[in-house]
């Protein structure tokens, strides 16, 4: 009864507390935030009530976190997404890879079948429609440098590729463009069992349209042989339709290699042989129909097509 008398001594009015709408609550508050009303309560009564209820209070702490706290993690995730997007090959990248794969093993087009040629033409047509450089002659910095011939339909090169002497092969056919001096050098490199040499032509070019240049050949150069490290003979060679076994020659070659090396060094010390080109057939034109940092497609006389890859580009390693 002592507790009952204690309650009867405390004078208090009812207290109506309305919680304001919180940004963390899914349900709206029943009353506006400014509608909270407190009746007067004596300090002693409040203390007694707290004592009776055990003095327990629920405290809700809300910590505001700045968006910057998650900045590094969010930025890292965005960077990964951007990197993955950049690594994803584009349609042009896929077409270029398909093109290089299509003429693999054709010896620059010499051994290409009719089906392969048709596939190459189709891929070239698609790439030309997506040409990122519509005016190649206005982007001479892209044209500048050494370009390796990977495929051609120009029949004028086929005798060069197919009629080389025994033990000699065409190592590389290239075109080097100097956009500052408006010069072009076409070069064919031959390799043999003892040395390498090259035949080149120097020419000047003039811009005739956003895609077309006129080329005038002025000089031919026969390079002096460059000595290789050692004589390397294949197991056999085909000559006049017959396969000749070269194994018995390896012993002889080894015995004369020192003498041959001395002769080759003497020849290599000589300057290259140059000759002028002045005939009426010393001019041609070239139309560049596709150009980027690693691939160039050009068309020449009689509808011939040339696919060239920039020296050092990743497509050359395929």
CA-based nearest residue to 291, from 144, 101, 88, 153: 144
Those residues whose C-beta lies under 8 Å from the C-beta of residue 199, and which sit 6 or more positions away, are: 187, 188, 190, 220, 221, 222, 223
User: Residue 262: pLDDT band by 50, 70, 90 thresholds?
Assistant: low
pLDDT digits (tens, 9 = 90+) for 70-81: 555 555 555 555
pTM of the model: 0.63
pLDDT digits (tens, 9 = 90+) for 104-114: 999 999 999 99
Q: Domains plus CATH for the chain?
A: 14-56 (no CATH), 128-223+272-317 (2.40.128.280)
pLDDT > 70 in the chain, percent: 59
pLDDT attached to residue 230: 56
pLDDT > 90 in the chain, percent: 42
> What does the mean pLDDT of the chain come to?
75
User: Residue 137: pLDDT band by 50, 70, 90 thresholds?
Assistant: very high
Rg of the Cα trace of the chain?
42
pLDDT attached to residue 297: 98
User: Residue 242: pLDDT band by 50, 70, 90 thresholds?
Assistant: low
pLDDT digits (tens, 9 = 90+) for 43-102: 444 445 544 444 444 444 544 445 455 555 555 555 555 555 567 889 999 999 999 999
- Measured between alpha carbons, how far is 207 from 137 in angstroms, rounded to an integer? 7
Helical packing angle, 91-102 and 114-129, nearest 10°: 160
183 exposure class (CB count in 10 Å sphere: 0-12, 13-18, 19+): middle
pLDDT digits (tens, 9 = 90+) for 157-203: 888 777 777 778 899 999 999 999 999 999 999 987 777 889 999 99
- Measured between alpha carbons, how far is 179 from 207 in angstroms, rounded to an integer? 11
For residues 251 and 133, the model is more confident at 133
């Amino acid at each position: 009864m002592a507790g009952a008398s204690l309650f009867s001594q405390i004078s208090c009015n009812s207290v109506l507390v309305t919680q304001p709408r919180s940004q963390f609550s899914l349900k709206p508050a029943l009353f506006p935030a400014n509608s909270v009303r407190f009746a007067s309560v004596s300090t002693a009564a409040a203390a007694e009530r707290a004592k009776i209820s055990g003095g327990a209070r629920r405290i809700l702490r809300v910590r505001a976190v700045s968006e910057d706290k998650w900045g590094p993690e969010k930025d890292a995730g965005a960077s990964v997404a951007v990197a993955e997007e950049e690594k994803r090959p584009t349609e042009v990248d896929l077409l270029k890879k398909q093109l290089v794969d299509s003429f693999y093993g054709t010896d620059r087009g010499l051994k290409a079948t009719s089906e392969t040629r048709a596939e190459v033409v189709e891929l070239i047509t698609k790439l030309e429609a997506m040409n990122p450089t519509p005016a190649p002659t206005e982007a001479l910095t892209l044209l500048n440098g050494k370009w390796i011939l990977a495929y051609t339909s120009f029949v004028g090169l086929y005798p060069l590729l197919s009629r080389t002497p025994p033990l000699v092969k065409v190592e590389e056919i290239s075109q080097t463009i100097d956009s500052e001096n408006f010069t072009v050098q076409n070069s064919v490199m031959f390799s043999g069992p003892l040395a390498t040499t090259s035949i080149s032509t120097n020419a000047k070019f003039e811009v005739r349209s956003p895609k077309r240049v006129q080329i005038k050949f002025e000089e031919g150069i026969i390079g002096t042989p460059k000595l290789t490290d050692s004589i390397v003979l294949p197991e056999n060679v085909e000559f006049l339709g017959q396969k000749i076994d070269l194994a018995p020659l390896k012993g002889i070659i080894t015995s004369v290699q020192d003498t041959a090396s001395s002769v080759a060094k003497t020849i290599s010390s000589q300057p290259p042989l140059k000759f002028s080109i002045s005939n009426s057939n010393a001019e041609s034109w070239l139309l560049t129909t596709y150009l980027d940092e690693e691939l160039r497609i050009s068309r020449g006389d009689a509808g011939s097509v040339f696919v060239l890859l920039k020296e050092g580009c990743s497509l050359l390693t395929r």
